[in-house]
Amino acid sequence: MKTDHSLEGWSVCRLLAMLLLCAGIMAGCGSGSGQSAGVGTGGTGSSVGKVSIDITDAPAMDYSHVYVTVIGVAFHTSKNVGFDSYSTARSAGWKRLDLPIPKTIDLAQLANGAMYADGNAGASLFNNLDLPVGNYQQIRIFLASTEDAYTGSVPGLSYNNEVQLVGDTAHYPLRIPTADEGIRLIPESPVVVTAGGSVKIALDFNLNNDVVEVTPNGTKEFIIKPRLGYFDMNSVGAVKGTVSFGNLSTSRIVIKAQQVASGVNYRIVRRWTGVDRSTGRFNLYPLPVFGNATTATYDILLRGRNLQTAIVKGVKVHKGTTPSSGAVDLGTITMQPGGEYSAQLGVPMHPTGSWMSFYQSIAGDPIPFEVRYRHLDPYGGKFGKAVELSTGPIQVATHTPGQALTFAADATSQGLFSAVADAPGYFARGAAMAGITGVAGQAVTMNNLSANAPQVSGGAAATSVSMIFDMTPFGSGRGPGMGMGGINLPKPNKGQLFVTHGGMIVDSLGTLTGDAAIGSAMHNGGGAGNTVAIGNIPGSVAGAFYGVYGLGWGNGVIAAGSTRVDMSAGNTTAVIRMR
């Protein structure tokens, strides 16, 4: 279930709390030692409940392994506060727990309904945390920095966060911009902790969408644009089924559970999965059942490469069901072959932290379905690869318990899509790009305009931050490719700045967006005489706290650094120390 806007939504870091107040607030955790970064507005005293946090993921079709090294988690009763380990004011109120030893998790193995606990003798990643009574509206999970020396728990890895591809033995870095900011999650409903109660939640990564391949220095690496999902495991259900098609191994079939939500004119994807490439089996789990309801109704969309999209409407999911007990079984769904064309943006879009959803409609239903989803390349502002879109009709069936599905072709929007861009934080969705169409095999250029990009909103104004590079610590980084303490190293001549909000990339500026100023500023030694400004960042509003992550390369060495900025009062200046 995606969150963080009503959309669906995540970040990363490695912080230590500044103050230890209210001793014992988080002591007694089964999988970590507790520490609190202040009392804040969450419950106080000895009234506590138990919270367990598991980890799951949507399928990772291109990856054999995606490792992340988790170091901690934090909760807050306000969704608007930022986190800054270097600021007493902005660390106060957080309930933070760090693992005694960082834990490296292979997210690529947690797909098709699998949980971290399934391979850990039933124990969640964070097991039975003591958390003060309260309604928690924000969660942050912290990962180790990719640029630091390896501290993970899996032998043989090169990076704290790395990607390994199918059929490829290389270890590729997975960059986590401003890891010390943490990856933010705003649950649609607060995490309610009651005295003596027990809460079980799962955090959902989305590797296939949120891990983006990039080549900033001419070699392959990956960067994460996280939108964490959240599930209350006491209020979920399951759907399962089987897909039949002649070539399951290359058709890249995706199954999405979608709902109509109040206040928006498009369907929201709550959970998606892939299929077992040998058997065609799939599990959609966990699927949220909100509030006091015992059932929730979903529409299930199936799509793949060179296939006709299929939709099963009106699937009623029951709270408490799992893939092995009581799940709705859709039976065998036979997919029909079809053609496709590809679509790419005509010009780069800012903010580069944007993502784009592609929608289609069917007869008699005014609320469009999300068929495709794709992040922009955060360096360049276009899709890393063109998006493939089906030219065929949509096969539609209505689910009736106990009866086989009967599909009928709907040509209402055959080959015709609309696309909408969105971005994290204080942005509103851009104007829809309607009428995207093509014939099989065609490469279509989307005529995107400035109005199609996400717009600064939420009471914010477009502001800018002027960055000063402190190159004094350059060469001290201990991660792979860093200076390893060397002296008189040639400084990088290329670079990129990323602005993040709650660990999610907002925008970037640098070499790969056609701006040479950042690389030049690093190469020339930084300082106030080489200041670089990045603009159109939502500010002048409460809660406008950002991370800034700098990455430099060239001349055989990598430099990296991060800092935090407060733009709630408008334009500001900050210093970033490049290691």
The predicted-structure confidence for 353-411, as pLDDT tens digits, reads as follows 999 999 999 999 999 999 999 999 999 999 999 999 999 999 999 999 999 999 999 99
Give the C-alpha separation, 151 to 162, whole Å.
13
Give the C-alpha separation, 558 to 395, whole Å.
50
Does residue 9 have a pLDDT over 70?
A: no
Query: pLDDT class for 482, splitting at 50, 70, 90?
Result: confident
> Using alpha carbons only, what angle is made at residue 511 by residues 506 and 512, rounded to the nearest 5 degrees?
65
Average pLDDT value over all residues in the chain: 89
Report the pLDDT value the prediction gives residue 245, as an integer from 0 to 100.
Answer: 92
Greater pLDDT, 32 or 503? 503
> Using alpha carbons only, what angle is made at residue 166 by residues 504 and 308, rounded to the nearest 5 degrees?
75
Q: Is the peptide bond before 155 cis (omega within 30 degrees of 0)?
A: no
Report the pLDDT value the prediction gives residue 46, as an integer from 0 to 100.
Answer: 56
Least confident of 9-23, 160-174, 203-217, 435-449: 9-23
Contact, 498 vs 214, CB < 8 A? no
Query: pLDDT class for 8, splitting at 50, 70, 90?
Result: very low
Report the pLDDT value the prediction gives residue 90, as an integer from 0 to 100.
Answer: 61
Report the pLDDT value the prediction gives residue 320, as an integer from 0 to 100.
Answer: 97
Give the C-alpha separation, 197 to 48, whole Å.
8
Query: pLDDT class for 494, splitting at 50, 70, 90?
Result: very high
CATH architecture of 236-456: Sandwich (2.60)
Least confident of 40-54, 110-124, 345-359, 542-556: 40-54
Q: What is the mean pLDDT of residues 522-530?
A: 96
Greater pLDDT, 89 or 240? 240
Residue whose C-alpha is closest to residue 164's, from 110, 106, 216: 106
Superfamily assignment of 461-577 in CATH? Immunoglobulins (2.60.40.10)
Give the C-alpha separation, 291 to 13, whole Å.
32
Query: pLDDT class for 555, splitting at 50, 70, 90?
Result: confident
In the chain, which segments carry CATH 2.60.40.1120?
236-456
Percent of all residues in the chain with a pLDDT value above 90, rounded to a whole number:
75
In the chain, which segments carry CATH 2.60.40.10?
461-577
Residue whose structure tokens are 């001793």: 23
Does residue 524 have a pLDDT over 60?
A: yes
* 41-51 pLDDT tens trace: 334 445 999 99
For 575, counting Cβ atoms within 10 Å of its Cβ (0-12 exposed, 13-18 middle, 19+ buried), the class is: middle
Residue whose C-alpha is closest to residue 297's, from 315, 324, 277: 315
Report the pLDDT value the prediction gives residue 452, as an integer from 0 to 100.
Answer: 98
Query: pLDDT class for 112, splitting at 50, 70, 90?
Result: confident
